[in-house]
């Protein structure tokens, strides 16, 4: 469980940056799988492959300065400290699932309004294809909204 404390001199933008940095993110792609539904036996093909599908998300703490136009040369993949060849590279906007953890404990009591408004702004900034869940904690964590695309439901849960 992460506990975030801020100094009272932080602006909304700085708090949003800190909030985003402390978000528990679960990035999930949504692969489409087709399975034959016939009762007939299917042929199985076995293939050995060393292909590793590595999905990354690149963000900046400053939402006013987004990361864009990254190319293959901008990445270095290491295995056991040794560079690995990037055979295929593609940029895509894959949907993700994200859990937003809000510290509503006594240590944050004077910043609750700012935490809630920053969380709402963050929810508004997500893409329609992204799902978000809201978890709050005081002494123990509580799921106040499961993963959903419904931004209105999320903003209500933040209140």
pLDDT given for residue 63 in this prediction: 66
In a domain, 7, yes or no: no
**Cα–Cα distance, 23 to 100 (Å, whole number):** 5
Domain total for the chain?
1
Specify the pLDDT at position 82.
93
On whether residue 133 sits in a domain, the answer given is yes
* 126: containing domain: 12-28+52-158
Q: Which residue has the higher pLDDT, 150 or 93?
A: 150
Terminus-to-terminus CA distance in the chain, angstroms? 21
Residue 34: what pLDDT? 46
- Does some domain include residue 148? yes
Residue 33 falls within a domain, yes or no?
Answer: no
Residue showing tokens 């900034």:
125
Q: Which of 2-6, 76-80, 105-109, 155-159 has the lowest mean pLDDT?
A: 2-6
The DSSP call for residue 102 is E
Average pLDDT of every residue of the chain: 76
Task: Encode pLDDT of 11-54 as tens digits.
Answer: 444 444 444 444 433 333 334 444 555 666 678 888 887 778 88
Is 47 contained in some domain? no
Is residue 3 included in any domain, yes or no? no
How confident is the model at residue 143, as a pLDDT?
93
Backbone angles phi, psi at 12, to 5 degrees: -55, -45
| Average pLDDT, integer, range 118-132 | 90
pLDDT at position 108 = 80
Are the CB atoms for 22 and 4 separated by under 8 Å? yes
| pLDDT, greater one: 130 or 12 | 130
Angle at CA of residue 95, ends 153 and 63, nearest 5°? 75
For residue 93, being part of any structural domain is answered with yes
Mean pLDDT (whole number) for 89-114? 85
**Global pTM exceeds 0.85:** no
Q: Is 18 exposed, middle or buried (0-12, 13-18, 19+ CB in 10 A)?
A: middle
Do the domain assignments include residue 110? Answer: yes
Q: Which stretch of DSSP H or E encloses residue 154?
A: helix 151-158
Residue 70's pLDDT is: 86
d(CA 31, CA 159): 34
What's the confidence (pLDDT) of residue 54?
81
């Amino acid at each position: 469980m992460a506990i975030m404390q801020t100094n009272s001199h932080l602006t909304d933008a700085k708090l949003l940056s800190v909030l985003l940095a402390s978000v528990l993110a679960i990035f999930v792609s949504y692969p489409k799988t087709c399975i034959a539904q016939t009762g007939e036996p299917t042929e199985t093909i076995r293939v050995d492959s060393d292909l590793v599908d590595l999905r990354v998300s690149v963000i900046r703490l400053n939402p006013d300065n987004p990361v864009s136009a990254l190319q293959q040369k901008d990445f270095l993949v290491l295995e056991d400290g040794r560079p690995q060849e990037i055979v295929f590279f593609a940029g895509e906007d894959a949907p993700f699932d994200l859990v937003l953890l809000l510290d509503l404990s006594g240590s944050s009591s004077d910043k609750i309004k700012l935490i809630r408004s920053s969380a709402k702004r963050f929810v508004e900034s997500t893409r329609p294809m992204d799902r978000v869940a809201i978890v709050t904690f005081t002494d123990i964590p509580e799921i106040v909204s499961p993963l959903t695309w419904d931004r209105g439901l999320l903003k209500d849960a933040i209140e």
